[in-house]
Amino acid sequence: MKDSKKIDICGVFVDDLSKEGAVEKIFSLAKGKRGNLVVTVNSEFVMLARRNPRFSQILRKAELALADGGWVAFLKLILGGNARNRITGVDLVDLVCKQSAKRPVRIGFLGGFGSVAETVAKRQKIKYPGLNVVFFEAGDPSTNYDSKIRTKLARAGRIDVLFVAFGMGKQEFWMERNRNFANIGVFIGVGGAFDYLSGIKRRAPRLLQAIGLEWLWRLLMEPARIWRMRVLPAFFVLSLFFVISKKLKIS
């Protein structure tokens, strides 16, 4: 599969792929060398990348960067992209599991709290009976836990696709730190996807998802998120000036 076009979103490059194209690219990466990274980019990712050079470098080095946030997906379109849909962590887990059930692909789930990863694994196996789940673990993104989780991953043998749900930043730093120490084809950071797939949290209605207001639903359901969402107004202003500057250069 040929490489996709990458679109610059305020310094973070995002692949211009449809959901179907993203899934096929993931399977292509899973067959190749181990240690490939997939990140799902939203506006908070972009703002963190601007503040943290190490995080920015991880996103830049990732083999696949997908437009998770609605505004990121919209910016990708107006800056020359063709694929219209956003690709959230929740959707990505479900799509990859659906297609994996028809292929000889070994799947793992890492992250969440308590038995959430196990619950997600069981639910996906019920939904897609042919799914081959070889690993599930709550884990811990701290460096002190690295050796323990590496041992557990090694016992599972080859894992073609590992979903990592430690939350923004933590999961990307963990994946970058551990990508060369386990026999894993693709690491995919999926944020809080396990909470929604396990049923612990309720996802926004489809209408709000479609018009890019899923963030508002999350804020209403979890008011404590307002602290991390404080960057959204700054991102809006930044992206407005970024688009204007790009258009002026073109003209």
Is the pLDDT assigned to residue 87 strictly greater than 90?
Answer: yes
| Per-residue pLDDT, 16 | 97
Distance in angstroms (rounded) separating the CA atoms of residues 27 and 213: 30
Give residue 1's pLDDT band: very low, low, confident or very high (50, 70, 90): low
| Burial (CB count <10 Å: 0-12, 13-18, 19+), residue 29 | buried
What would the mean pLDDT of 204-212 be, rounded to a whole number? 72
DSSP state of 238: H
| Per-residue pLDDT, 193 | 93
Selection from 53, 98, 61 nearest residue 179 by Cα: 61
Selection from 72, 16, 10, 13 nearest residue 214 by Cα: 72
**What would the pLDDT profile of 155-184 be if each residue is shown by its tens digit?**
999 999 999 999 999 999 999 999 999 899
Mapping DSSP to helix (H, G, I), strand (E, B) and coil, where does residue 53 land?
helix
**What would the pLDDT profile of 119-154 be if each residue is shown by its tens digit?**
999 999 999 999 999 999 999 999 999 999 999 999
Q: Rounded to two decimals, what is the model's pTM?
A: 0.91
